[in-house]
Structure 1
């Protein structure tokens, strides 16, 4: 089985529980996209690939799809099983999906595809999808038009290293029209509301390359974030904040060749 990127393996293992509490859910409007663009209906066989702790898996299960989750990091699988005990969760990667040929109608990847954006992964996703099957990629993206969100990005970016990231757009290079159609793209406004400790500290400390840092460096990042919360006029003294996101969704259809 191909190795998982070190930042993902170490970071997501170390902060699996923080990921559960710190990451936002998904906007209600996305349910319409899942039904309309991806064609998800009750009992439809769906694979949630790179499922993490199951935040997106929970949304799929709520649509009564017949969901199977695949996740390579053991600590994340454990969190998923705690929250969704009825959903099968399998150890696997995008390049080695432990399912048979043409066994699912939809594959979803939420907050994940940039980790495995290769032709090999697309070939494997193509393999498990039935003819006419759909692939859905979803990301919650920080809205950096808000100044304090841009300040958070400035704190985190120096630690990014070689960790694959959505914002670089490099994940798009895997799509050459061979395995999948051009995407149908939708964008939804979204906010994650809660205490600054959860939606800012917890969210940022669950970022893979931050979670993988030595504890002293992680503490330094946390101190910068707490300083921002304590001093920024939009955050100072607030028990609850609304962290703004854009949820970006990309829907692809399996090509008959490949």
Structure 2
């Protein structure tokens, strides 16, 4: 037995089963984040950055492009395997946010892209502070569905009936750990982003890659897919189109370790 927090069952089961779907259907991130990584987090050659909750490595290329040395930490083996295959130059470690496989004051920045809501706990923040150098940066990034788009509310309704107790960025509960001891206040930037592709890929497969949907029995997943396809067929801006745009707003937050 162990007193270490285990990862949420929806993440363990859903992401373990749907790692390839996650990699194929999830959007990338706005190119404008390159300036944010440089200016807000100080990433540059000679620095070390941790991609925490790195998943299949969707955010890793942006970190690599800064010239910093990237260390990925990901607890789900199936996702970490895809990351290693795609980015063999990146050191990829198993580990959880509450028990980071990192030495004290050893890294310049930690970035949690699409992941912090899974481990938004004081213990995890304490671990991040331990691993960061004095003045080191913590970045939190999420691609969030743009709720201003009319059909998005219907899609959200289809998905949310299955969410159970899975942590979500949209709930806002991750904010409850801030302001955090030993960190400066959060700053926020927002960027518009569009994921362009076939409706099946960027809407249907994207929906099926959601952790708590991917954790459902196959017959229930099929019903979700049917409902999403029916929504596409009933939406004039989506129906019959070979290519559609799935709009996001990318939220980027930053703070620094202080003593």
TM over 0.5: yes
Normalized against structure 1, the TM-score is what?
0.97
Structure 1: which 5+ runs fail to align? none
* Conserved? CA contact 2:16–2:79, under 8 Å: yes
Question: What pairs up with 1:45-124 in 2 under 5 angstroms?
Answer: 45-124=48-127
SS at match of 1:10: helix
CA distance in 2, matches of 1:64, 1:227: 45
SS at match of 1:46: strand
CA distance in 2, matches of 1:10, 1:50: 15
* Conserved? CA contact 2:107–2:136, under 8 Å: yes
CA distance in 2, matches of 1:191, 1:42: 29
Matched, 1:242 2:236: no
| Displacement after TM superposition at 1:30 (Å) | 0.9
Structure 2: which 5+ runs fail to align? none
CA distance in 1, matches of 2:205, 2:109: 31
CA distance in 1, matches of 2:111, 2:102: 14
Aligned residue pairs total 256
* Conserved? CA contact 2:125–2:180, under 8 Å: no
Equivalent in the alignment of 2:15: 12
* Conserved? CA contact 2:142–2:250, under 8 Å: yes
CA distance in 1, matches of 2:176, 2:115: 15
Matched, 1:206 2:209: yes
Equivalent in the alignment of 1:41: 44
| Displacement after TM superposition at 1:93 (Å) | 0.3
SS at match of 1:55: coil
Residue 142 of structure 2: which of 139, 155, 175 is its match? 139
Matched, 1:194 2:194: no
Stretches of 4+ moved more than 2 A in 1? none
| Displacement after TM superposition at 1:177 (Å) | 3.5
Question: Root-mean-square deviation (CA), in Å?
Answer: 0.8
